[in-house]
Amino acid sequence: MFYKIVCSLWLCLAVLTCSIDSSSSSSSSSFNNLAGYEGYTKYTVQHGDESAFQYMVDLQTNDTEVDFWLLTRNMSVLTVGPKRKPQLESRLLELDVQYQTQPLMDLMASLEGNSTYAEEDEYEECQPGDCESDRPHSRKRRQARSFFSRFPRYHEILNFMSNLAARYPLYCRYESLGRSSEGRHIAALSISLNQRVRPRRVAYIQAATHGREWITTQTVLYLAYELLTNLRAFQRVLNDVEVFLVPLVNPDGYEYTHTTDRFWRKNRHRYAGLSCTGVDINRNFGNHWNYQGASQNHCSEVYSGTSPNSEPETAAVVRYLEFNRHRVKLSLDVHSFGKFIFYPYGYARNTVPPTVATLRSVALRAANQIGRYRGTRYTVGTSASILYEASGSLDDFAYGSLGIPLSYTLELPGEEFHVSPFDIIHVCKETFAGFIEFIRHVSLY
């Protein structure tokens, strides 16, 4: 039911030029993707009581002029435009909560100043005659460091994926789950030790459900790269397990954050006669759809769509998971930011899954492995208990509707949705350790 995207010769020949051109544009110091944010303010709000927390939840769901970057039970990070600012501050004063402010453009200028890209760090893709398995290991490592020191564009990501499949044809398959709202491929990589024999178990991992969460895609691409370049080391992990990766579930939103709006969250579904665009894919899955933490306001950041699984991106994921529901044992949805590992259920705070002990134990093991790299600490629990009730997420759908036994949402580091170029590789490496721990447990089912 899925068709294979062929890696043709001209792609291999053109990749280096394309990568240099697009990476130059992505590393530009201009603020083309921040047009319209002049006068916006970032708020970090500390809210200790339930009334302030509920006010924040209502704001996120109903106020289309407020954009939440993070919302937990005791702290929120949000951005507000100049017209809405006096009203917000007045209400925060009434609630007697503490908050700090920072002009958004000042913040972004500061982050940009720490985000210089050296020309020698450009990724050198494989050329004809240069993809042999006996290529010097140090050169491959040098190329990987270069690619994982910046945030590539959509076509670079597809080139990277197709070239991995071309380089390791016995172990890697490149395919498309379907097309996005704007017609881009939702590309996937299938990694297994023997493509001639279909493994019984599948570990499914996806990223970039929200366009602005750039670091998520890089961690999943890094997982693919490390597995394929170290197959001997991970033979035991991959034994009887197929790792199925979708690094860019929302390619339209991802591209839009590079060209127009750095903080765009939703997909790019356009509705005739309406000025607002997009659906929050993470509220569109068909488990308790639009029940909590979602909105039917087209302009809301958490707009859940016209119906469950209504979006082409959601539908593509659902088709794959439903078709393989008896083989998929792990579903992992990678987001940013916050350093959390969530397991079901997220739609209601007091709803506990029957296998909560196993879900929590595996999550804690993964968090421990992540922390061993450089001490990064993750909080483990349900999103409803740590953050707020939100329905229509992949983890609830995979576990509650399809019976996939291991289902999680991973929230990576990266405050302000920003990871410095020199830190991308470190986030990738520590997250890789967590990925491997999750995949290890697939063999138990």
Question: How do residues 25-64 score in pLDDT, each as one tens digit?
Answer: 444 334 688 988 999 999 999 987 899 999 999 999 999 9
Last residue of a domain, one of 53, 79, 113: 113
**Angle CA(234)–CA(396)–CA(46) in degrees, nearest 5?**
100
Question: Residue 212: which domain range?
Answer: 136-271+277-444
Among residues 122, 125, 255, 411, the one annotated as catalytic is 411
Do 364 and 440 share a domain, yes or no? yes
Residue 165 lies in a domain: yes
How far is the C-alpha of 167 from the C-alpha of 161, rounded, in Å? Answer: 10
Residue 111 confidence class, pLDDT cut points 50, 70, 90: confident
Residue 379 lies in a domain: yes
Residue 114 confidence class, pLDDT cut points 50, 70, 90: low
E strands, 131-219, are 172-179, 185-191, 201-207
Q: What is the residue-averaged pLDDT of the chain?
A: 88
Residue 4 lies in a domain: no
Alpha helix (H) residue ranges in 177-250: 214-229, 235-238
> Out of 80-94, 131-145, 320-334, which region has the weakest mean confidence (pLDDT)?
131-145
Question: How do residues 249-284 score in pLDDT, each as one tens digit?
Answer: 999 999 999 999 999 999 999 999 898 999 999 999
Distances 354 to 22, 343, 349, 357, 399 between C-alpha atoms, Å: 48, 12, 15, 8, 11
Residue 284 lies in a domain: yes
Domain count, the chain: 2
Do 100 and 156 share a domain, yes or no? no
Integer distance in angstroms from the first to the last C-alpha of the chain? Answer: 25
Q: What is the pTM of this model?
A: 0.88
Residue 312 lies in a domain: yes
Tell me the two tokens of residue 11: 């792609």
Tell me the two tokens of residue 21: 């051109």
pLDDT > 90: percent of the chain:
77
Last residue of a domain, one of 113, 148, 164: 113
The SS3 of residue 230 is coil
Do 240 and 296 share a domain, yes or no? yes
Q: What is the pLDDT of residue 31?
A: 67
Q: Minimal CA–CA distance to 336: which of 437, 265, 434?
A: 265
Residue 128 lies in a domain: no
The SS3 of residue 101 is strand
Q: What is the pLDDT of residue 17?
A: 42
Residue 137 confidence class, pLDDT cut points 50, 70, 90: low
Tell me the two tokens of residue 126: 């494989």
- The DSSP 8-state label assigned to residue 6 in this structure reads P
Mean pLDDT calculated for residue range 178-201 = 90
Domain harbouring 58, CATH code: 3.30.70.340
Radius of gyration (Cα) for the chain, nearest Å?
21
Do 206 and 88 share a domain, yes or no? no
Dihedral-angle region of residue 335 (phi above 0 means left; psi in -120 to 50 means alpha; beta otherwise): beta
Give yes or no for a contact between 442 and 330, defined as CB atoms under 8 angstroms apart. Answer: yes
Do 91 and 168 share a domain, yes or no? no
pLDDT at 188 over 60: yes
Neighbours of 126 (CB within 10 A): 18
Active site (annotated) includes residue 411: yes
The SS3 of residue 80 is strand
- The DSSP 8-state label assigned to residue 239 in this structure reads T
Residue 8 confidence class, pLDDT cut points 50, 70, 90: very low
How far is the C-alpha of 400 from the C-alpha of 406, rounded, in Å? Answer: 11
Do 106 and 162 share a domain, yes or no? no
Q: Which phi and psi (to 5°) does residue 32 adopt?
A: -60, -30
Name residue 243's beta-bridge partners.
191, 203
